[in-house]
């Protein structure tokens, strides 16, 4: 009979052993074989990768990043890449908003000068 505390998983990527339970290799950080993982505790909505991505880019913006970091289906690399792209996305969005605001302000000023209020 195997003791849970002494169970280890061999990493398919680098061959290092990691004590279970663990999601990622302690040596290289790659996700360990999901078939050997303990059964997932139900399919929580924030574990749905596409739903999280949709919420991230269309609803929550940078506020959705904690969902990404909590999601065990994203590897550390994907989490970093998503965080980075969210930062870029936010900067672009803010700049677009500022440009739009400036364009509206200029248009209002132009109309004001034409109409001689």
Q: Report the C-alpha gap between 48 and 64 in whole angstroms.
A: 13
> Given the complex with Zn ion, which of 77 and 102 has the nearer CB atom?
77
* 56 forms part of the interface with Zn ion (CB under 5 A): no
Smallest distance from Zn ion to CB 76, Å:
12
User: Which contacts qualify for 5-13: CB closer than 8 Å, 24 or more apart?
Assistant: 9/33, 9/36
> Given the complex with Zn ion, which of 25 and 67 has the nearer CB atom?
25
Closest CA to 21 of 37, 35, 10, 39: 37
CB 33 within 8 A of CB 24: no
The residue written with tokens 């996305």 in the block is: 89
Smallest distance from Zn ion to CB 90, Å:
33
> Given the complex with Zn ion, which of 28 and 81 has the nearer CB atom?
28
Could you say which residues in the range 4-33 bind Zn ion, by CB under 5 A?
11, 13-14, 16, 25, 27-28, 30
Binding site for Zn ion (CB under 5 A): 11, 13-14, 16, 25, 27-28, 30
């Amino acid at each position: 009979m195997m003791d849970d505390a002494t169970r280890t998983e061999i990493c398919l990527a680098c061959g290092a052993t990691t004590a279970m339970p663990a999601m990622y290799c302690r040596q290289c950080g790659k996700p360990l074989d999901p078939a050997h993982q303990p059964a997932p505790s139900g399919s929580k909505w924030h574990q749905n990768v596409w739903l999280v991505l949709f919420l991230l880019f269309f609803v929550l913006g940078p506020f959705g990043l904690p969902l990404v970091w909590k999601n065990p289906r994203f590897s550390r690399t994907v989490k970093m890449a998503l965080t980075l792209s969210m930062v870029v996305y936010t900067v672009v969005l803010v700049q677009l908003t500022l440009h739009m605001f400036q364009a509206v302000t200029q248009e209002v000023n132009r109309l004001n000068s034409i109409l001689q209020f």
